Structures are given as C-alpha cells and as structure tokens.
Structure 1
Amino acid sequence: MTDNGKLTKIDKAAILLLSLGEGDAAQVLRHLGPKEVQKVGIAMTQMTNVHREQIESVMTDFVELVRDQTSLGVGSDAYIRSMLTKALGEDKAGGVIDRILTGESSNGLDSLKWMEARDVADIIRYEHPQIQAIVVAYLDPDQAGGVLSHFDEKTRLEVILRVSSLNTVQPAALKELNAILEKQFAGNTNTSRTNLGGVKRAADIMNFLESSMEAPLMEAIKSVDPDLSGKIEDLMFVFDNLNDVDDRGIQALLREISSDILVLALKGADDRLKAKVFKNMSKRAAELLKDDLDSRGPVRLSEVENAQKEVLAIARRMADAGEIVLGGKGGEEMV
C-alpha cells in the first residue's frame, strides 16, 4: 500500500467504500458510472494493508465510524462481490465482477460500457459505419466521445451524421450486432425497438470531444448539412452555459465537485461564472477558492478542458436525475 502522500483519488474512494458497510457502499456505487465502478473495484481488490492513519487522512468526516478499525486487509473478494451485486443487480454485476476479480472480460453490446474507449474503437474500427454508429449511440456520451477521438476525421464525421439520423433500432439489428460481438442479445426476436441516437445524442457526444476535434467536426457537419449543425450546436451544453443555471442548481452542483477539479475548471472560466460560483459558496469557502485560484500557476489547456468536461458530466447526470435544471432546458423551479 502506498503512503498517504501518494494515495490517488481512486485509492481514497476505495478506502472509503471498504470502510463503509455493504449497504451504504452499494448506495454510493449506484451513483457512479461503469468506468468509475470498475476503477474503484479494481483498487479495492489491490488494498492489502490500509492502516488507521491512512483511513483517518482519507476520511476525516468518518473517523468515528472507523475508530475501532486498525486495518483493512486482504480477502475482500466476497465483500466486493456482494456489494457490487447489491449496487448493480445480479445480471449487470456479473460482467463487471468477472472483469474486476478474475480479469475475465464479458462479451456483448452492454459489456462495451465497461471497456476503455480505445479498446471499443479497436473492436469496431473495421465494421460498417452504421454498426459503428449504433455502438457509439449505445455508449454513454463521455465514452462515445472517447471512442470517436480514436477515429480519423472522415470516420468521425460519418459516424456522428449517422448517430444524428438514428431514432430506433430493430431488434434483429441489435441481435446481429450482438452476434458480431460474440454474445446473443438479451431477450428474443419479439423484443421491442430500442431508442438510440438522434440529434440530442450527437450533441451530447460532441460535448465530450476535445476542442481540437470538436471544431473541425462541427465545420464538417456544417458543410454537409448546415441545418443539422445548427440543431446540434443549439443542444450542446458547454461550460459557459453554467451561467444560466439557477443559484440552487449551482449550490447542488458544487456539493458534488471536488475542490481540485473546481479550481482547474475555473482557471478557464470567465469572470461572470467565477462570480456566480463564489456567490453560491460560504464566505470562507469562497475565500479559500480564490486563494487557490490565485496561487495556482499556469496549467495546460488540456487539463482545464478535462476538468470542465468532468464538471459538465456531473451536471448532466444531475439534470437527468431531476436534481438540477440546466440552462435552455425549461428553467422550471426545482422543488
């Protein structure tokens, strides 16, 4: 086990979850995405001797809960298996448990969500563009954006155009795709059509592309279909759009963002958005944040963009859960 100063965020999350009861840990995992669950799960299996001092440094707010513990040791496979099953359900947990505990990979369309974007891109690289579009539309937007980043410009344009025009996919097509992925699709030939793709999905995926890829792709879409590019731009939610989120929404969002990510994200924000964030924090917290921003030296643009994308991912997840309302999506007051 590494010393306190070298603990990664994933290590700290693993220590926290291993310190909680299975039920509470499962509740936390329900709010994580597939890749996050896999990373934390792998970290938990690698925990060998987490001493009391390390636990207290990671979980100052939970010291009383772990006061009688001296270490978290080896042999936690049964705990992890039970916790993941409670969090994800038996069907969904099966694949990820195998990947985490045994290193075995599961097959099928759904299992792609548990893979790295580069691996998914390699799997579908030589498939027909329509197959690529169905896979990309099926993935979560951040992972889909990662997959597109491993294709050339021509393929990115072809796939995003096809994603935009997708509405529903016939069960037979999904079964054929799963056969290609070496796993039969769950259900039977009478399975109802699956909603995939559309302009909104294309916009969500575009949100997760690096700026260096997003701009030329948007220009390429505009040259092919100006009307479509306008619709996609209207639906894209970028970091500056947080200015349109109400104060209650900003407060809820700030509770979900780590201070390190917030500082990096705000390095590239305009003064108006910074003022909005400061306004929705306690005076003490705002002063600390300002100090962190002032003391932080120059950072790479890519680091700022990645931090902003992480904040946007959290914002979209909260919006989907009805916890906040993003600008341009109705503006209803939350109750």
Structure 2
Amino acid sequence: MAPRMKEDYRSLTGPQKAAILMLSLGEEQSSRIFAMMDDEEIKEISQTMANLGTVNAGVVERLFVEFADQISSTGSLVGSYESTERLLMKTLSKDRVDMIMEEIRGPAGRTMWDKLGNVNETVLANYLKNEYPQTVAVVLAKIKADHAARVLSLLPENFAMEVIMRMLRMEAVQKEVLDGVEKTLRTEFMSNLARTARRDAHELMADIFNNLDRNAENRFMSALEERNRESAERIKQLMFTFEDLVRIDMAGIQTLLRSVEKDKLGMALKGASDTIKELFFKNMSERAGKMMREDMDAMGPVRLRDVDQAQSAIVVLAKELAASGQIVISEGREEDELVY
C-alpha cells in the first residue's frame, strides 16, 4: 500500500517540513546541509524523510514561500556553539579549534576539566578514591580550589594525605600524564591544557586549604605537620583567612565594606575575633555599626558552617579586590604591619 499523500500543510510538523525541504534541494545541496548537523539532527530528519510518503506539489510550494518569508522578514541567522565549531573545523586544525572553543564556551564548556567541575563532589570523590593518588593529584590540581577542597575532605584520610604529598611534589604536568588521566577518566581531552603554566604546589595547597571547613583543615594540617612540618608551615604562611583581613589598611576595609553583602558580613563577624570585629566597626558610621550589631544579635546562635561560608566568601572578595588593585593586602611581615 502506497504511503498516504501529504496534502494538509497545517498538519506538518517541524521535522516533516525540514525533511520536505531537504528532499527538494537535491543531493548536492542537502548533503552540504547534512554535514553541518549533529548526529541526532541527522537521525531525526532521515527517519522523517523515510516515512514521509508522497507530498502534494502545493504543499511543497507553500513550504518554500513560508521559508522565504521567514528568512526575509527576520533578516537574521541563528548560530550556536556546535555550528560554529563545525565551521571552524573546515578551515583550522583541531588543536586551534579546541583552544578557540574552550575560550568562547567559558565555564559551561565541554572540556574534561569543565565537566569535572560540574560533577557533585561526593560522586567525584567516590570515583577518585579508587584511582592512584598521583591521578587524583593531577585532577585536583586542575579543577577549582573550592571544588578540590570539598572532594579532598570526602576522601579517606590516609588516601587524602597521599594525594596532598603528591600535589606538593608535583612538577609541571606533562602532556603524557594528562593523556593518561584522560584515558582513566574516559572523557574528552584538550591538548592545549598540557601547556598551562606551572603553579607553585604550596600556593595551590594553601588555596585548597582555605576552602576546607575548619575541622577538615585542622585534621589535614595536623597530619601534614607530622609528615612534613616544613611544607605545613609554608602552607600556613600562604593561607589567607578571615582573621588575616587585619593586613588590609583602613581605606581597603572601607572599600571592602562597600562591596560586601551586609547580611553575609554580619554572619562572618559572629564567629570573628574581637580584633576583626573592631576593625570593621571602626570603619563604619556609628549608625551603620549600631544596625550591624542589632542584626547580629537578632541572628541568635548560628551554625559554624554558615559562619565559615560567609567568612570564606568575604576572603574571596578581598582577594578579587586586591587582584584588581582596589585594595592592598600587606605581606604579613613585621615591617608590613599596620600602625593606627
């Protein structure tokens, strides 16, 4: 029995319209369009084409008129990451395309490290605890410090210490090592990642330790002091905590006050030393200071975890302001101490 003829234009679905258009264009033109589609698009349109049956000439004509009207009325084209990547691949090498696409995709990209950054820390820790400590060290060195800290705190303690020791001894990551990690993780790999600049291992660990909660930080630091006191002391010196905000001058604290969320500051100060509290209050107006104290009193007892999170957020903000030159953080040496 011959397939039913398509006569009612209004009943056509989007894929059916696309299938009719592709059949009407001829092999050469349609093959060029197929080359610009992904596998799922090709599969859907091909299946629709196969089941299309006979199409009335009037339906085809109306489809072309509608298509031409839509293109001319909008005067625009719709692009996507995928179509851009396919176009670049026709003229550039894969390495260059990977590099360009990684830049324009930003945080939501599709590189191995982007994907790992979006994996729940519990899931990632459960996977990594069965890998070699060296493999885990490479992974934690490549993902963001706050994410690495959460993963590290979920690993078995002895295993986590093995990872920390390898991270401290790790030299610049070679392409061969990254290739091995790619194979282990069974995910895509971007060759330009092998060319990333080396970062000091102790600075990296200090950044990760800054993002640990207090219990995990104390636990790992105590264990590290037993195994390598020199590294532990160096990491302590490099760590920047909420209490280290005393290293910012008055103008810097006022800049920080203008940038920080007031409820977050109140939560952070609930668990701060008297020195830090006084530092902030004396840089506020009398009215603002009174309101802040009232807000803090109204909070009542608060969870240590919430205080840690608020303090960590303010430390990150302070670092960002310092990096952009808006505030200055002294090195903490005796000759750099501030005198009021």
TM-score, length-scaled by structure 2: 0.63
Distance 1:249 1:222, change over 3 A: same
Residue of structure 1 equivalent to 2:161 = 157
1:175 CA drift (Å): 2.4
**1:114 maps to 2:125:** no
How far apart, CA to CA, are the structure 1 residues paired with 2:196 and 2:131?
22
How far apart, CA to CA, are the structure 2 residues paired with 1:153 and 1:309?
23
Retained in 1: the 8 A contact 2:111–2:190? no
How far apart, CA to CA, are the structure 2 residues paired with 1:187 and 1:235?
31
Aligned counterpart in structure 2 of residue 91 of structure 1, from 99, 102, 127:
102
Q: Secondary structure of the equivalent of 2:295?
A: helix
* Mapping for residues 1-335 of structure 1, pairs under 5 Å: 91=102, 94=105, 106=110, 108-187=112-191, 192=195, 194-196=197-199, 198-328=201-331
Q: Secondary structure of the equivalent of 2:161?
A: helix
CA distances 1:131-156 after superposition (whole Å, capped 9, x unpaired):
11111111222111111111121122
Distance 1:261 1:166, change over 3 A: same
Retained in 2: the 8 A contact 1:203–1:232? yes
How far apart, CA to CA, are the structure 2 residues paired with 1:160 and 1:320?
27
1:255 CA drift (Å): 2.6
Retained in 1: the 8 A contact 2:264–2:310? yes
Residue of structure 2 equivalent to 1:52 = none
Distance 1:319 1:175, change over 3 A: farther
How far apart, CA to CA, are the structure 2 residues paired with 1:286 and 1:120?
43
1:261 CA drift (Å): 1.1
CA distances 1:292-325 after superposition (whole Å, capped 9, x unpaired):
1232211122221221122222223333333333
How far apart, CA to CA, are the structure 2 residues paired with 1:232 and 1:144?
16
How far apart, CA to CA, are the structure 1 residues paired with 2:175 and 2:337?
36
Partner amino acid, structure 2, of 1:150: L
What is the CA RMSD across the aligned residues, in angstroms?
3.0
How far apart, CA to CA, are the structure 1 residues paired with 2:118 and 2:249?
34
Q: Secondary structure of the equivalent of 1:127?
A: coil
How far apart, CA to CA, are the structure 2 residues paired with 1:144 and 1:153?
15
Distance 1:116 1:248, change over 3 A: farther
How far apart, CA to CA, are the structure 1 residues paired with 2:316 and 2:106?
24
CA distances 1:59-84 after superposition (whole Å, capped 9, x unpaired):
xxxxxxxxxxxxxxxxxxx9xx9xxx
Partner amino acid, structure 1, of 2:208: I
How far apart, CA to CA, are the structure 2 residues paired with 1:332 and 1:170?
41
Identity %: 33
1:107 CA drift (Å): 5.5
Retained in 2: the 8 A contact 1:137–1:197? no
How far apart, CA to CA, are the structure 2 residues paired with 1:167 and 1:319?
28
CA distances 1:237-262 after superposition (whole Å, capped 9, x unpaired):
12111112112222222233211211
Distance 1:247 1:201, change over 3 A: same
CA distances 1:145-201 after superposition (whole Å, capped 9, x unpaired):
111111121122111222222231112212222233334432369x53641450111
How far apart, CA to CA, are the structure 2 residues paired with 1:263 and 1:134?
38
1:117 CA drift (Å): 2.3
Retained in 1: the 8 A contact 2:102–2:111? no
Q: Which moved more, 1:249-258 or 1:220-229?
A: 249-258
Matched positions, count: 241
1:204 CA drift (Å): 1.1
How far apart, CA to CA, are the structure 2 residues paired with 1:139 and 1:208?
13
How far apart, CA to CA, are the structure 2 residues paired with 1:230 and 1:128?
27
Distance 1:215 1:115, change over 3 A: same
How far apart, CA to CA, are the structure 2 residues paired with 1:287 and 1:328?
32
Retained in 2: the 8 A contact 1:242–1:327? no
Structure 2 alignment gaps of length 5 or more: 1-77, 82-99
Retained in 2: the 8 A contact 1:95–1:111? no
